[in-house]
Amino acid sequence: MGSDTDTSADTDTTPATEAAPELAADGGTATGSDTASGDDAGRAGLKARAKWYALSYPLFWLVAVFFVPLCLLFVFSFWVNIPGGQYEFGFTFENYLRFVSVDFTSSWPFIEPGLYLSQMWLTIELALVTAVFSLLLGYPIAYYLARMDRPWLRSLLLITIISSLWVTYVIRAYAWQVILASGGVLSSIGVATGILSEPQSFYPGYWGLVVGMVYVFLPFMILTLYSSIRNIDGELLEASKNLGAGSVKTFRRVTLPLSKNGITSGMALVFILALGSYVLPRLLGSSAERTLPVLIEQQIMSESNYPFAAAMSIGLILVVIVFLWALIRMTNVTAGSLGGNEEVATDGGSQQPGSTGSSPFAKVRGGFGSAASAIGLTAVAGQIGSAIDSVVTRVDAKTRESVIWVTFRAYVAAAMAFIAVPIAIIIAVSFTPEQFLTFPPGGFSMQWYVEFFTSESWMVALVNSFAIAGAAALLSTTIGGGLAFALDRFDYKWSSIYGTFGVLPILVPPVIIGVAFLVFFLELGIAGSRTSIIVAHGIFYAPFPFILISQGLDEIDRTYEEAAMNLGASSLRTLRTITYPLIRANVISGALFAFILSLNEYIIAWLLSLFLVNTIPIEIFNSLRYGYSPTIAAASVVFIALTVVVMTAIDRFSGGIWE
Amino acid sequence: MSGISLAGVKKRYPGGVLAVKGVDIDIESGEFVTLVGPSGCGKTTTLRTIAGFETPTDGSVHIDGNEVTDAPPYERDTGMVFQDFALFPHMTIHENIAYGMEASGDYTTEEIDARVEEMLELVELPGVGDRTPDQLSGGQQQRIALARALAPRPKALLLDEPLASLDKQLREQMQVELRRIQQEIGITTVFVTHNQEEALTMSDRLAVMNDGKFEQVGPPEEVYNDPDSRFVADFLGTANIFDGTVSAVENNYAMVDCDDVSVQAAVQNGVSAGDDTSVVIRPERFRFDDGTAGNAGAASADGGTNAGGMTVFEGEITFKRHLGSSVEFHLETDSGREITVVRRSGMDKRGPGDRVAVSVAADDCRLVEA
C-alpha cells in the first residue's frame, strides 16, 4: 500500500502538459493503474478525458445529427397528416393502415394487396431480378478478369468497370433513355436493319427498367465476385487439373464452391442497393413501376404528406432489416457480432477495392456463403454447370476447351460492351450538330458545349455541385477520420457499436436519409440550403473515409510513433510529423471518394433542395422532363470528365488502389 | 550517481497479467547492462517502462537522478533503437537523424546539420543523408537507427533486440560495432535480448530475467560460471544438470548422491548433508580420460566414480556435431544418463559408437538449488 501512495504522489507532481490525446500504445494504462484512485489527476485522468473528447465530435454528427432524426422518422410516422401539406403531432396508425391496405374483390381470392403493398412487392421483385441478372452477367466477367494473365488488359477493364460506378445514376439512366427511346439507338438500328417497321420506344417499362438497373448495379457484383475469385489459390485449380478434371469440372467442383461467398455477398449488396434505388425506376419505369422510393419521394415532393412518407420509409427499412436478419440467421453469426457483421456488409457495399480481402470482409463472406447454400443458389448454379459439362464431354477434349474459351471470351466482350457503350453513346451524342437527339449523330459540333458553358443555370449548378461536394468531403473526412482515430487509439467498452455508427449511414437507403434529414432540417429551418445538403452528404458518405482511415491506422507500425516520442516529439508533433504523413494517402483517398460520390448524388440533394438549390445531377434530371436536349449530353460529358480527373487523383495518391 | 535505477517496478496489464513482478537494479553511469531472458519474461516491458511507453503499476524509475516514473516518453531523454529500427519511411536519412534535435528545439539548423554529419561519421556511413531508409541494407538501417537515437545526446541508450532481424554474420559484426560506439561515447545502455550469446559477449553486467523477475544480476563470467539457479544455468549456454541429495560436506566439497552416480562439487554457499540440490557442469569442463579409464579404482557398475576430486563417467558416444572451433559430443552413460561434452576441434577422432570415459574436477561442478 505504501508504494501505492508513492505512485499517487508521483502522479500529482508530474507536469500535466499533454492535453492532446496520448499517442502511445499504452492505451490501457488509465484502466491499468488503479493507483491513481480514479480521480482525474495526472496522465491517467487526462487520457480518460481525451478519450471522450476524441469520440464526441464524430458521435455528435453520427448520433445527434443522423441517428436521432432517423429515429424521429419512426415517431413521425405516427403523426397525423392534414391534407394540403400540413401535419400535426398525434398518434395514429392511419399511415401504416394506408400502407398495408388491401382491396376486396368479387372473385377468388376475394382479396388483393392494395397499391402500396403491391408496389412494395414490386420493389422487392425488381431488386431480386436485378441481383439474379447481375450475377448471371457478372460472374463470367469476374471470372475472366480474375484468371486472365495480361495485367494491362485487366487494369483497363477494371478501370472501365469502376469508372462507370462513379457516374451519377442520373446520367446513366439518361444513357439508357437515349438507347431505348423511340428515335434512340436501338430503335434506329432496328429500323435500319428492317427488324422494326417503324421507330419504337422500349421504355418506360418493366424490362427497360431491369436493363437499366442491371447496368447500374452490375459493377458492384463484378467487383465483389472478382475479389472473391482472385482470392482462390491458383494452385488449387492446378491441383484439380492435375487430378484429371477438365476446365468445366474444375470450375464446377473447385472455383464455384470456393466463390459462393462472393456470390452471396454480391447478391446481398446488389439487392440492398437496388431496393433503395430511386433514379432508375423514376426515369426508366412507367407509372406501373413506381417503386417504394419513388412513392416516398412523391409523397414528400408532390403530396407533402410527410407522415405517410415516414411510414413507407419505415416499411422500406423493415425490408432491409428483415433481409439482413435472415442473412445473419442463416449463418452461424451470433447476435452479439451483428454490429460487426453489418459493418462488413457495408465494407462490401462501399466497394472501395482497396479494402477487399481484408479479414472482416472475408469473415462476412463466410457468413454469406452459408446463407447462399441455404437458399440453394449454389446448387442451381452447380446443376447448370453439370448440364453443360455433360453436353460438352461428348466432344473431344481439345475442341471442347477451345470452343468453351472462344464462347466465353465472346460473352465477356459482349458484357463489357454492355458496360462501356452507354457512356460512349452519350459522348457521341454530345457532339451532334442537330437540334434533337438522333443516332448516329449526323456530324460534329461543339455547340452543345458552348451552350452548356454559357448557360447561367448550368454554371450555377456546376458551382453548387463543386461547393457542396468539397464541403461535404471535408465534413465526411473529419467525421470518419475522427471516429477512426478515436476507435484506433482508445479502448471503449462499446467500441463495436461506435464502429457500427461509422458505417450505418451507407446501409440506409438514400431516399430515407433524405426524408429524415428533410424533416429534421425543416424543424431547424435550414432545409433548402446548400448547408443542409452538405451536412447530409457529409454524414452519408462518412463511412468511406472512416473505412479507409481505419484501415490506414490499422496498418501503421506503432513503433514509428514510439520512436518519434522517444526522440522527444510531443503527441501533437508526432501526429503531425509521423502519423498523418503515414496515412495521408488514405485520408486523401477517403476525402476524394466522398467528394466524387457527393458530386454525383441525386436523391438526397433533390429532397433537401426544396427547389431552391440546383446541382448538376438535379439540373440534368429536371432537363430530362423537357426532352433530350443534347446539352444534357454535353453536361454529362463534362461531369464524367471531372469525375475521371478526381478518380485519377485518387489512384495517384493511393498508389493503385484499384487493385 | 547512477545512470538508471529501477526500484520495485511492477507492471500489471489491463487484462490482469502481471508482466513485471518487482525488479530492482541500479545501472551505473556509462554501464552496459543486458536484460536477457526467454520471450514473455518481462524484459521488453521493463525496457518500455524505462522509455516511458509503459507506466509502472508500482515502483519508481529514475534516469540520471531524476524521477521519471510517470513522465511521458518525450520528456525522458532516452534514445531507443527498435527491433525493426522504425526509421521513418517518409523521411530521408538526414531527416531521420535530425528529427530528435528538431523536436527538442534546442538546436540551430547549422548545429543540426553538423551533428547529423558527425553521427553518420560515428556509424561509418558518411554521405547517405539524402537516401531514404528503403535504399539501405538491414545493417545500414541498424546503424542509422543507432545514429538517430544518439543524435539528441540522450542520457541513456535503450536497445530493444536491435540485432534480432540481422543475419548471423552481420549480427556478430554489429555486436562489436555497437559495443565500440557505446564505449566511445560512454553512454549508459540497457540492451534487451533473448539471445544468450549476445548477452554474454556484449555486457558489463547482465540481468537474467524469468517470469517477471531478475534471477541473477552480475558480470557475464560470474553469471555463466556461478549460476545462482537452475534456470540461469540452463538458460545461459548448455548445462549438464544432475539432481541429487547432499550426502556429506567436507572441506568445502560436497558429495552429491545422484542415484546412479556420486558427484563431488565445490561448495559456495552453505549446504549440509541431506539437502536436495542440483549439480551444474558446463560441457567444456569435461575431459576425455584417454585410454586410462579404470586407473583410479575400477569403474563401478553405476557408471560414475569418484577419483580423487574427479568424477568419472563411462559410456558410449551417441552423437557428434561440429560447431566450428569446437565439437559437441552426446554421451549415454552406462546407467542411461545423457551428457553433453564440448571439446576443441581437431583434438580427437572419437565418433558415435566409441566407448569413452570423461571426467570433471570438483571445482568445475557447481551446486544450485534443486
Contact list, B90 vs chain A (CB under 8 Å): 581-582
CB B311 within 8 A of CB B362: yes
**Could you tell me how far CA A224 lies from the centroid of its own chain?**
12
Q: How far is A560 from chain B (nearest CA, A)?
A: 5
A269 against B182, higher pLDDT: B182
A309 against B251, higher pLDDT: A309
Cα B321 from Cα A400, distance rounded (Å): 60
Q: Show the cell assigned to A519.
A: 424533416
Check the CA dihedral A29-A33-A39-A41 and report its sign: negative
Q: What is the mean pLDDT of residues A53-64?
A: 89
Nearest chain A residue to B51 by CA distance is A566
Domain B238-369 annotated CATH 1.10.443.10: no
> In this complex, which of B13, B56, B104 lies closest to A568 when CB atoms are compared?
B104
Contact list, B107 vs chain A (CB under 8 Å): none
Cα A3 from Cα A35, distance rounded (Å): 9
Q: How far is B81 from chain A (nearest CA, A)?
A: 8
Cα A535 from Cα A365, distance rounded (Å): 32
pLDDT in tens, A508-521: 889 989 989 998 89
Above 90 in pLDDT, residue A226?
no
Q: How far is B6 from chain A (nearest CA, A)?
A: 13
Q: Show the cell assigned to A208.
A: 427497360
Q: Of B188, B184, B178, B186, nearest to B26 (Cα)?
A: B188
Q: How far is A33 from chain B (nearest CA, A)?
A: 5
Share in percent of chain B as helix, strand, coil (round to 5): 25, 35, 35
- Confidence at A654, pLDDT banded by 50, 70, 90: low
Q: Of A344, A221, A314, nearest to A274 (Cα)?
A: A221
- Confidence at A424, pLDDT banded by 50, 70, 90: confident
Contact list, B76 vs chain A (CB under 8 Å): 566
Give DSSP secondary structure letters for B153-190.
--SEEEEESTTTTS-HHHHHHHHHHHHHHHHHHT-EEE
In the block, residue with C-alpha cell 522517444: A566
CB A574 within 8 A of CB A489: no
pLDDT at A598: 92
Is the Cβ pair B70, A11 closer than 8 Å?
Answer: yes
Above 60 in pLDDT, residue A13?
no
pLDDT at A610: 87
Above 90 in pLDDT, residue B259?
no
Above 50 in pLDDT, residue A224?
yes
Highest mean pLDDT among A238-242, A341-345, A431-435, B156-160: B156-160
CB B200 within 8 A of CB B220: yes
Instruction: Give the end-to-end CA distance of chain A in Å, rounded to a whole number.
Output: 58
Q: Calculate the alpha carbon distances from B351 to B12, B150, B318, B332, B348 in Å.
A: 52, 51, 8, 13, 9
Is the Cβ pair A24, B73 closer than 8 Å?
Answer: yes
pLDDT at A88: 74
CB B60 within 8 A of CB A6: yes
For B22: left if phi > 0, alpha if psi spans -120 to 50, otherwise beta; the answer is left
Q: In what order do the strands lie in the sheet with B365-369?
A: B261-266, B253-258, B240-250, B276-281, B365-369
Cα B19 from Cα B209, distance rounded (Å): 11
Q: Calculate the alpha carbon distances from B348 to A471, B288, B326, B370 in Å.
A: 83, 10, 11, 35
Mean of pLDDT over chain B: 87
pTM: 0.75
> In this complex, which of A15, A491, A582 lies closest to B90 when CB atoms are compared?
A582
pLDDT in tens, B146-163: 999 999 999 999 999 988
Cα A8 from Cα B108, distance rounded (Å): 39
- For residue B360, list its beta bridge partners: B311
Domains within chain A, CATH numbers bracketed: 2-76+458-619 (1.10.3720.10), 117-426 (1.10.3720.10)
Is the Cβ pair A577, B70 closer than 8 Å?
Answer: no
A559 interfaces chain B, CB cutoff of 8 Å: yes
Nearest chain B residue to A568 by CA distance is B74
B321 interfaces chain A, CB cutoff of 8 Å: no
CB A432 within 8 A of CB A447: no
A201 against A590, higher pLDDT: A590
- Percent of chain B residues topping a pLDDT of 70: 94
Is the Cβ pair A573, B73 closer than 8 Å?
Answer: no
Is the Cβ pair A32, B13 closer than 8 Å?
Answer: yes
Q: What is the mean pLDDT of residues A85-107?
A: 75
CATH code for the part of the protein at B2-234: 3.40.50.300
What are the domain boundaries of chain B? 2-234, 238-369
A608 interfaces chain B, CB cutoff of 8 Å: no
Q: In what order do the strands lie in the sheet with B2-12?
A: B18-28, B2-12, B58-63, B66-67
**Could you tell me how far CA A358 lies from the centroid of its own chain?**
18
A495 interfaces chain B, CB cutoff of 8 Å: no
- For residue B311, list its beta bridge partners: B306, B360
Contact list, A10 vs chain B (CB under 8 Å): 60, 67, 69-70
> In this complex, which of B71, B88, B89 lies closest to A14 when CB atoms are compared?
B71
pLDDT in tens, A257-282: 888 778 888 888 888 889 989 999 98
> In this complex, which of A25, A33, A573 lies closest to B55 when CB atoms are compared?
A33
- Strand B156-160 vs strand B2-12: parallel, antiparallel, or unpaired? unpaired
For helices A495-507 and A42-59, the axis angle rounded to 10 degrees is: 20
- Percent of chain A residues topping a pLDDT of 90: 18
DSSP letter for A66, please.
I
Q: Show the cell assigned to A558.
A: 506503432
Cα A509 from Cα B172, distance rounded (Å): 63
Is the Cβ pair B58, A4 closer than 8 Å?
Answer: yes
Cα A221 from Cα A206, distance rounded (Å): 21
Mean of pLDDT over chain A: 77
pLDDT in tens, A108-143: 666 677 778 888 889 999 999 999 999 999 998 888
Q: Show the cell assigned to A179.
A: 438507347
B319 interfaces chain A, CB cutoff of 8 Å: no
Instruction: Give the end-to-end CA distance of chain B in Å, rounded to a whole number.
Output: 38
A578 interfaces chain B, CB cutoff of 8 Å: yes
- Confidence at A4, pLDDT banded by 50, 70, 90: very low
**A residues 162..181 contacting B (CB < 8 A):** none
**Could you tell me how far CA A315 lies from the centroid of its own chain?**
21
B82 interfaces chain A, CB cutoff of 8 Å: yes
Is the Cβ pair B73, A562 closer than 8 Å?
Answer: yes
The ipTM assigned to this model is 0.82
Is the Cβ pair A562, B51 closer than 8 Å?
Answer: yes
Nearest chain B residue to A570 by CA distance is B74
pLDDT in tens, A381-403: 556 556 666 665 555 667 777 77
Above 70 in pLDDT, residue A345?
no
Cα A265 from Cα A134, distance rounded (Å): 12
A555 interfaces chain B, CB cutoff of 8 Å: no
Nearest chain B residue to A35 by CA distance is B57
Q: Show the cell assigned to A591.
A: 476525402
pLDDT at A344: 35
Give DSSP secondary structure letters for A240-306.
HHHTT--HHHHIIIIIHHHTHHHHHHHHHHHHHHHHT--HHHHHHS-GGG--HHHHHHHIIIII--H
